[in-house]
Copies of this chain bind each other. A is one copy, B any other.
Amino acid sequence: MPQEKPFVFIETCTPRRVLELFSTKWTSMVLYALKCGRLRTGELQRCLPGISKKMLTQTLRELEADGLILRTVYPQVPPKVEYQLTDNGALLIEPIEMLYDWGRRHSELLASLKLRRGKD
């Protein structure tokens, strides 16, 4: 048994940083929803059933601050705001999509996991 040396997850290693991307509930979903183009706030909210307005805006603000999405305000009443991916934001679609695709190919396995879900 050719036991290789195990990987050590130093606090600052990239694996940990990638994980942070997915450790927050809505981040990757918001990005992925914007893959189709620009969306208004309300449309975005309808893409994410269950999200609260608070978390939606908070997530959007963070993504904007990190330069992953662009926010466009139209000077109208009532207000109209649109969000779209920046070039950097578009880069993140790749791993997200990979993950989702893998999930679709292994939905049976996924469904069998209860992991940290108390009830099922």
A contacts, CB < 8 Å to B: 1-11, 14-25, 27-29, 32-39, 43-44, 46-50, 62, 65-68, 88, 91, 94-95, 98-100, 102-104, 106-107, 109-117
Contact = CB atoms under 8 A, between A and B. Distances in A.
A119 to B, nearest CB: 13
Given A3-B36, A115-B24, A116-B62, A49 B9 contact: yes
Given A14-B104, A91-B106, 15 more contacts: A3-B36, A4-B37, A6-B33, A6-B35, A6-B36, A7-B36, A7-B47, A19-B22, A23-B23, A24-B116, A65-B114, A66-B112, A95-B99, A98-B98, A98-B102
B33 A111 contact: no
